[in-house]
Structure 1
Amino acid sequence: MSSPNIAKEMHVGHLRSTIIGESISRLLSFLGHKVLKLNHLGDWGTQFGMLIAHLKEIYPDHKTAPPISDLQAFYKTSKTRYDEEKDFNQRAHMAVVKLQQNDPEYVHAWKQICDISRKEFDDVYHRLGIENLIERGESFYQSRMEEFVNDLKSQNVLQEDEGRLILWPPKCEVPLTVVKSDGGFTYDTSDLTALLQRLHEEKADWVLYVVDMGQSVHLNTVFAGAEMLGYYNPNVHKVQHIGFGVVLGEDKKKFKTRSGDTVRLVDLLDEGLERAKNRLLEKERNKELTEAEFERAQKAVAYGCIKYADLSHSRTIDYVFSFDRMLDDKGNTAVYLLYAYTRIRSIIRNAGYSEKTINEISKTVPLIFEHPMELTLAKALCRLPDILLKIQNDFLLHSLCDYLYDLSCDFTNFYDACYCIERNQETGDVQINKERIVLCEATARVMKCGFDILGIETVEKM
């Protein structure tokens, strides 16, 4: 999942893999699976030659971390020099060779570049609430690739084709290039090696690739190649491609900035924060919330609306990114659901019941639902396990979003028809319907469970 490239900033193209992958991980963990979240970083390759060569020239004394504030600009400059300066191009090629030979000086420079990128990635992951993401970049598989290729050569399973060595799995439209004509390895080589490592070193019984639909032919060919080589048996292991569509702008084309550049993920999150703040100020929430409560609500709305807009669409289709739609407090949006959740929490607070008290009531007081809306809500709450088990089979997370929206609508109908707290206008006495408060608490807990799986933070007040 996620899988950004070192020395390049995360952009909107990484959004769906990151959000969908995180939600699937949370779902499977909730259902009792032991989950290993892998971030397959692009941290190796010929591009590091030009980056290291440029680094050594600009910061010759790079024993300490170089003061590179804009790694994207650093990359563009080194790429321009690589394309236009013959001497620099040669130094870049030499740097690649030195790196592949594990020269300490060049490995140190490579690590510094990776560390700068990693800090930027970690900031995005922290803002999105993503933890325990294990980094396994291309570099991790380098030595394993050499062993893997030597093993294939000894088995005589590779075919020679115009100087390259290929593996052509049965029923596949294209072959896998295992060794290029210059002796180098390819993405095919690393993906075959990575799958071998995951199945036989990690001992995984289920491997999920959360990668866009455009990679389906490549991944299916890799899976077929692994099966052909005998280290992947579909009767023993499950290996799946969880594909997804692209993010579109409101013009129905690939989401870009006005200048035509790729949208940086950090800019998207910043804009979300600003728009969420303005929406909350429009509703004068700053007059009702403390500064800390307002900030928590702002982040919950900003990041929650971005995640929910993605997850509430079928992952198999493209979807249009629109902040105006995301921040609408009507309809199937994160804002509507978060407001519904805080409303339920407010009802429970007004009843004056602690969580402990509600737990005791639910164990001792018979829950008898006489009103049709009570029964409808109770039945809706019971649907959650079936929804989660369905998603475990198809990984269509919009089913959970639809369920949460329907549940919040059922709660609204219930609350409009059934008084939970009644105040006598003449005496001022307050009567609390314990069974209905328990139903409110159950609804809040089910919604919280759904939000947690979707990776959306909840707040008590908004």
Structure 2
Amino acid sequence: MESKYLEKLQNVEAEANTLEKLIEDAQEKVNEPVAKLKNEQERLKYRVNILKRAYEEEVRKDIKHMKNIAQMLRLYFTIAVDKAFPGLEDFPVAVAPTNNPKFGDYQCNVAPPLFAMLKGKVAGIANPRQIADAIVREFPKSIDVIEKLEIAGPGFINVFLNPEYLIEETRTVFLHGALPAPNPCKKRVIVDMSSPNVAKEMHVGHLRSTIIGEGLARLMEYLGNDVLRLNHVGDWGTQFGMLICLLQEKFSNYLTGNKQLPVSDLQTFYKEAKKRFDEDEDFKKRSYACVVELQSLNPEYLKAWNLICDVSRKEFTKIYERLDIKNLIERGESFYQKRMETIVKELDAKGLLEDDLPEGGGALQGIRKIMHPPDKSLPLIIVKSDGGFTYDTSDMATIKQRVEEERADWIIYVTDAGQATHFYSIYKCAKRAGIWDPTKVRIDHVGFGVVLGEDKKKFKTRSGETVKLADLLDEGIKRAGDKLKEKGRDKEMTQEEFNAAMTSVAYSCIKYSDLSHNRVHEYVFSFDKMLEDKGNTAVYLLYAYTRIKSIARKAGVSLEQLQEYGNKSKITLAHPKELKLMKTILKFPETIEKCAAELVLHPMCELLYDIAVYFSEFYDSCYCIEKDSKTGETKIHMDRLLLCEATANVLKQGFDILAIRPLHRM
């Protein structure tokens, strides 16, 4: 499809390419004004990006996806600024939704800062309002999303959306769902999440990494990226020496058994091994010897290791199935053993490793090898004094494998905020070693705060132990069941429906309570609060969704009938509550954009809550089904039913990203 921007785009690109060649030539001549040419090239590249986005937006008009209104407005205002004041360097243009409808739906406040920059440099410009006037004059004409622009105060540009545009976009959301725009720049995204330790049960400390990691992975998939979820489990090291040593002591015939670990409770077995390791020097010595045999790939020790890992893997899998965690691939530390050996040799060959005698250690302890980041901050311990490897070694090998073998474009590590310093050191050293090029591969550490109990202290059991994740989920189901019974839901549903509702409410509440908080903050875990049916809770949202899905059913209108109506009929929605609801559901793409840019999920929760609240206001003010008190005839407002179903589609898509399973009946 040809575009009015295409020819202009090609001309500007050609000009930018010519300048690039000039820069290359100029670099060979000492006296050439290279800096000036580079600035001009950057300006042209900036214009190229603007025009490319305009061209892509025009090409996509016929694709039935949700439009990002805020992004479109930023694009139009950027073009207007570029035309009104040509030759500017890259100048950011922000567009934000307004809180007061009298100031429109969105506001662009670019004029005041632009005036501050141009003051005294452009003739005839005496105040920010004149800047705003110039921008509005150059604003692209015949834009169907906008009803009008108004200049207010010291040059604020208020944007009023076109109701007809809102109606047509709502129709699209009803007919096609909350679909994202096509992604022409698909990325290979790796999400490192969950990361429990083998031989230990998953506990509440693994909850946030698992839930946040899954939400971000689903967000990236929604945006059309190729996502690989990796579970970097602790399955290698000293703890296995302890376990194998105890296994040999207590079950000497484990090699000839029935291929199952002769231990019924691996957690208790681990605690016993740890106690022996801490208190018995001979046991500790034999445990270290077992580690050496294991890392030398002795078949007998490998069999014991596999038996232990299989038991843990089955328990992890049960938790992941309950939480609806999809396609999580286990990549334990054992996977990187050979790669760690390789990377140590590479770092040593490059002269990046330094010998270091541990503080307080004697000559008998041996020399460890460390690597300093470029800023000489906390070094990585690459090889221990006994010749073994560390988390630092495995994390360096991990980055190398993900960049070189997995061809990652973006790597996201989801761990608690306390590990931030460690990961920043890893990134700096990976860059120093030439393993990671930040201009080619993006890496983010997604840190999060700890889960607190209602006493505002780290969440533990009454006896002071860490809360097991399986126990937490079981308690959630029990509490959700009790709450539903209080409301008499068990009398209204079959046992199968009740069990489904109980499970959906329990797991949704646990997830939503976590994700609705800014991940960088700590949050208080409270079943009582998360199971409330008022306020920003999963229960409130789930009830809103089931209520919406019941409306057409009560009206006796099938989805097929409503789709036929939506395809053929003129839609009229003009009530203020109808418009408010439409404007809110159509903020979904810009909310997705914010979540992806900041790697947070609480803005999605806030939007879903707003949708539920504004739907309730709409439903209370605008009847979908009306019965004439005189004639007894029932009138069905098909336009409003369509709005209801469009709202449900957006809620459902949001739920899917948050890994929440809604129900049609609750």
* TM-score, normalized by the shorter chain, greater than 0.5: yes
Map residues 232-271 of structure 1 onto 2, 5 A cutoff.
232-271=436-475
User: Which secondary structure does the structure 1 equivalent of 2:440 belong to?
Assistant: coil
User: Which secondary structure does the structure 1 equivalent of 2:226 belong to?
Assistant: coil
Q: By how many angstroms is 1:235 displaced?
A: 0.8
CA–CA separation in structure 2 for the residues paired with 1:93 and 1:218? 26
CA–CA separation in structure 1 for the residues paired with 2:271 and 2:293? 22
Q: By how many angstroms is 1:47 displaced?
A: 1.0
CA–CA separation in structure 2 for the residues paired with 1:119 and 1:426? 65
Question: Paired residue for 2:302, among 107, 124, 128?
Answer: 107
Question: Paired residue for 1:11, among 203, 217, 221?
Answer: 203
CA distance change for structure 1 residues 283 and 195 in 2, over 3 Å: closer, same or farther?
same
Question: Paired residue for 1:433, among 627, 631, 637?
Answer: 637
Question: Paired residue for 1:94, among 275, 278, 289?
Answer: 289
Q: By how many angstroms is 1:287 displaced?
A: 1.1
User: Which secondary structure does the structure 1 equivalent of 2:448 belong to?
Assistant: coil
CA–CA separation in structure 2 for the residues paired with 1:128 and 1:201? 30
Question: Paired residue for 1:452, among 634, 637, 656?
Answer: 656
Map residues 282-321 of structure 1 onto 2, 5 A cutoff.
282-321=486-525
> RMSD of the alignment, in Å?
1.1
Question: Paired residue for 1:343, among 539, 547, 570?
Answer: 547
For 2:278, the equivalent position in structure 1 comes to 83
For 2:558, the equivalent position in structure 1 comes to 354
Correspondence 1:61 to 2:265: no
For 2:396, the equivalent position in structure 1 comes to 192
Once the two structures are superposed, what CA deviation does each residue of 1:213-247 show, in whole Å capped at 9, x if it has no partner? 00000000100001111121111110110111000
Map residues 120-131 of structure 1 onto 2, 5 A cutoff.
120-131=315-326
Whether the 8 Å contact between 1:365 and 1:435 is mirrored in structure 2 is: no
For 2:405, the equivalent position in structure 1 comes to 201
CA–CA separation in structure 1 for the residues paired with 2:215 and 2:443? 18
Q: By how many angstroms is 1:94 displaced?
A: 2.0
Once the two structures are superposed, what CA deviation does each residue of 1:71-98 show, in whole Å capped at 9, x if it has no partner? 1101001111222233332322221111
User: Which secondary structure does the structure 2 equivalent of 1:48 belong to?
Assistant: helix
Q: Which amino acid aligns with 2:598?
A: D
Q: Which amino acid aligns with 2:197?
A: N
Q: By how many angstroms is 1:69 displaced?
A: 2.4
Correspondence 1:413 to 2:617: yes
The range that moved more, 264-273 or 79-88, is 79-88
Whether the 8 Å contact between 2:373 and 2:379 is mirrored in structure 1 is: yes
Q: By how many angstroms is 1:199 displaced?
A: 0.7
Once the two structures are superposed, what CA deviation does each residue of 1:410-458 show, in whole Å capped at 9, x if it has no partner? 0000000001011234444321100000000001110000000001111
Once the two structures are superposed, what CA deviation does each residue of 1:35-85 show, in whole Å capped at 9, x if it has no partner? 000000000001101101111222222242024222110100111122223
Question: Paired residue for 1:182, among 386, 394, 409?
Answer: 386
Map residues 38-77 of structure 1 onto 2, 5 A cutoff.
38-62=230-254, 63=257, 64-77=259-272
Whether the 8 Å contact between 2:410 and 2:442 is mirrored in structure 1 is: yes
CA–CA separation in structure 1 for the residues paired with 2:494 and 2:552? 20
For 2:337, the equivalent position in structure 1 comes to 142
Correspondence 1:370 to 2:574: yes
User: Which secondary structure does the structure 2 equivalent of 1:203 belong to?
Assistant: coil
For 1:280, the equivalent position in structure 2 comes to 484
Whether the 8 Å contact between 2:202 and 2:469 is mirrored in structure 1 is: yes
Question: Paired residue for 1:161, among 356, 375, 391?
Answer: 356
Q: By how many angstroms is 1:181 displaced?
A: 1.5
The range that moved more, 77-86 or 230-239, is 77-86
For 2:224, the equivalent position in structure 1 comes to 32
Bigger Rg, structure 1 or 2: 2
Q: By how many angstroms is 1:158 displaced?
A: 1.1
Whether the 8 Å contact between 1:376 and 1:410 is mirrored in structure 2 is: yes
Q: Which amino acid aligns with 1:48?
A: F
CA–CA separation in structure 2 for the residues paired with 1:421 and 1:396? 39
TM-score (normalised: structure 2): 0.68
Q: By how many angstroms is 1:165 displaced?
A: 1.2
User: Which secondary structure does the structure 2 equivalent of 1:189 belong to?
Assistant: helix
Q: By how many angstroms is 1:459 displaced?
A: 0.5
Whether the 8 Å contact between 2:399 and 2:435 is mirrored in structure 1 is: no
Whether the 8 Å contact between 1:168 and 1:174 is mirrored in structure 2 is: yes
* Count of aligned residue pairs for this structure pair: 462
CA–CA separation in structure 1 for the residues paired with 2:247 and 2:369? 34
Q: Which amino acid aligns with 1:37?
A: R
Question: Paired residue for 2:588, among 384, 395, 400?
Answer: 384
CA–CA separation in structure 2 for the residues paired with 1:27 and 1:459? 21
CA–CA separation in structure 2 for the residues paired with 1:450 and 1:85? 54
For 2:375, the equivalent position in structure 1 comes to 171
CA distance change for structure 1 residues 239 and 172 in 2, over 3 Å: closer, same or farther?
farther
For 1:219, the equivalent position in structure 2 comes to 423
For 2:62, the equivalent position in structure 1 comes to none
Identity of aligned residues (%): 56
CA–CA separation in structure 2 for the residues paired with 1:394 and 1:85? 49
For 2:607, the equivalent position in structure 1 comes to 403
CA–CA separation in structure 1 for the residues paired with 2:594 and 2:280? 56
Give structure 2 stretches of 5+ with no counterpart: 1-192, 358-366
Q: Which amino acid aligns with 2:599?
A: F
User: Which secondary structure does the structure 2 equivalent of 1:211 belong to?
Assistant: strand
Q: By how many angstroms is 1:204 displaced?
A: 0.3
Correspondence 1:20 to 2:215: no
CA–CA separation in structure 1 for the residues paired with 2:446 and 2:630? 61
Whether the 8 Å contact between 1:59 and 1:66 is mirrored in structure 2 is: no
CA–CA separation in structure 2 for the residues paired with 1:424 and 1:343? 23
CA–CA separation in structure 1 for the residues paired with 2:561 and 2:306? 55
Q: Which amino acid aligns with 1:450?
A: G
The range that moved more, 49-58 or 271-280, is 49-58
Whether the 8 Å contact between 1:326 and 1:333 is mirrored in structure 2 is: yes
CA–CA separation in structure 2 for the residues paired with 1:57 and 1:424? 83
User: Which secondary structure does the structure 2 equivalent of 1:35 belong to?
Assistant: strand
Question: Paired residue for 2:647, among 411, 426, 443?
Answer: 443
Q: By how many angstroms is 1:364 displaced?
A: 1.3
CA–CA separation in structure 2 for the residues paired with 1:58 and 1:360? 71
Q: By how many angstroms is 1:172 displaced?
A: 4.9
Q: Which amino acid aligns with 2:419?
A: Q
User: Which secondary structure does the structure 2 equivalent of 1:4 belong to?
Assistant: coil
Bigger RCO of structures 1 and 2 (CA < 8 A, at least 6 apart): 1
Whether the 8 Å contact between 1:208 and 1:239 is mirrored in structure 2 is: yes
